[in-house]
Structure 1
């Protein structure tokens, strides 16, 4: 029974690897989900067990300078990701209605793949958010939702970028997410800069609202593009099959 289940899992695994888009295979961490899985498991163990035990009898680290550099670097990085998404489709040729995945090797498609991979890679950098919490002994911010978000999102995005890395409505949400992160990390950077910047942070109460609105907008666009996309279903499937 166990051998049959293992055999079935391995067959599915091999099948999915064969379906991996050839255009992303040379990117770091894209050859197999194994590396990614070990990194994320290591992250969970570090922030839930190793880190708290290491800090148990130590005073919190004062990491204001490091946090300022980190947060504003993330602002710049996410702004660049948004720019790349716009220039590779959303601000140029996309219709904002029902855009199928581009399976070609056109410069625009390859640029979209690169933008998608940059977004994926940014999820690993964001793991430092939790590391800062642990080193500063902000245990109240290391919640289940926080850990779940940071450990599961890169894993799910790996499958998305390997199977359909270029274009379509699937890349709309990461673009919006990167926009939100520009705002979010701007706030974190200013907050880390000290009390003199507190007067500029009056919009803190709107952060959660901004996140919720962007989720609703992303969902709305995706839902209302399902109907027009259905008419292209046969073309999309056939185009996808001929790619491999």
Structure 2
């Protein structure tokens, strides 16, 4: 489509990653994300209308363990590349380390794509109430931005946000793993859920500070990346803050308790 070509021209490609799988055109992430949203909002719920929820306990355990291991591997691998907080210019050479960093960003993009599966599990378990606007937007925007990073800036300033995100997701999926062990465990660890949200918001604050260096004259970060990335971080932070207030404030907790009793 012509408008995909227009976006592709705007998001010029790093010559090193342009021929890597799913990187040649923005049609790939856009169409995948549209199918994802259509399934979780229309096809999936319709399919489950007259069906009992799938339990998926073992599948969830395998999925959560897989996410933890993948995040652990990526965070350690990125740390070994000596990332810098603040201005961290992209190395566009064919140096083996530079190519290795670009490949790690590509694998991060693939990992974020697999997180779409989490929402599919919600649909199959009839947990449609957990598929909030925050949940959908966060998944889609994160995948789209890491795809853009792989295309135009696979390394440099991208590393710190990815490392932070991996650390947070290691904790989050460990919480999910424990939750999948049954109601007794869920009750014991439910108290910690709000702290995971707090850690996520702290992560966004650190990323925002780090992002201020994107526009430094000698930082070599494409302006379009900063124009897309920074407003998105602010928006996601606001959405998480709003969720925290609604879910964990006294009034929010009271409203949730009343809804459960009805």
- Residue 24 of structure 2 is aligned to residue 31 of structure 1: yes
- Which residue of structure 1 lines up, in the alignment, with residue 66 of structure 2? 73
Task: Show CA shifts across 1:143-168 (max 9, x none).
Answer: 1121122223222322222111121x
Task: Confirm or deny: 8 A CA contact 2:105 2:154 kept in the other structure.
Answer: yes
Task: Show CA shifts across 1:34-90 (max 9, x none).
Answer: 122211111111110000001001111111111011011100001111112111232
Summarize the alignment of residues 80-119 of structure 1 with structure 2, pairs less than 5 Å apart: 80-90=73-83, 94=84, 96-119=85-108
Aligned-residue CA RMSD in angstroms?
Answer: 2.2
Deviation at 1:11, TM superposition (A): 6.6
Gaps of 5+ in 1: 1-5, 238-244
- Which residue of structure 2 lines up, in the alignment, with residue 15 of structure 1? 9
Deviation at 1:15, TM superposition (A): 2.6
- Which residue of structure 2 lines up, in the alignment, with residue 166 of structure 1? 155
- Which residue of structure 2 lines up, in the alignment, with residue 204 of structure 1? 193
Structure 1's 226 and 32: CA in aligned 2 closer, same or farther, altered over 3 A? closer
Deviation at 1:191, TM superposition (A): 0.5
- Residue 109 of structure 2 is aligned to residue 120 of structure 1: yes
Deviation at 1:202, TM superposition (A): 4.6
Deviation at 1:101, TM superposition (A): 1.0
Q: Which aligned runs of 4 or more in structure 1 are off by greater than 6 angstroms?
A: none
Deviation at 1:104, TM superposition (A): 1.1
Whose radius of gyration is greater, 1 or 2? Answer: 1
Gaps of 5+ in 2: 222-262
- Which residue of structure 1 lines up, in the alignment, with residue 146 of structure 2? 157
Deviation at 1:33, TM superposition (A): 1.4
Task: Confirm or deny: 8 A CA contact 2:61 2:177 kept in the other structure.
Answer: yes
- Residue 38 of structure 2 is aligned to residue 49 of structure 1: no
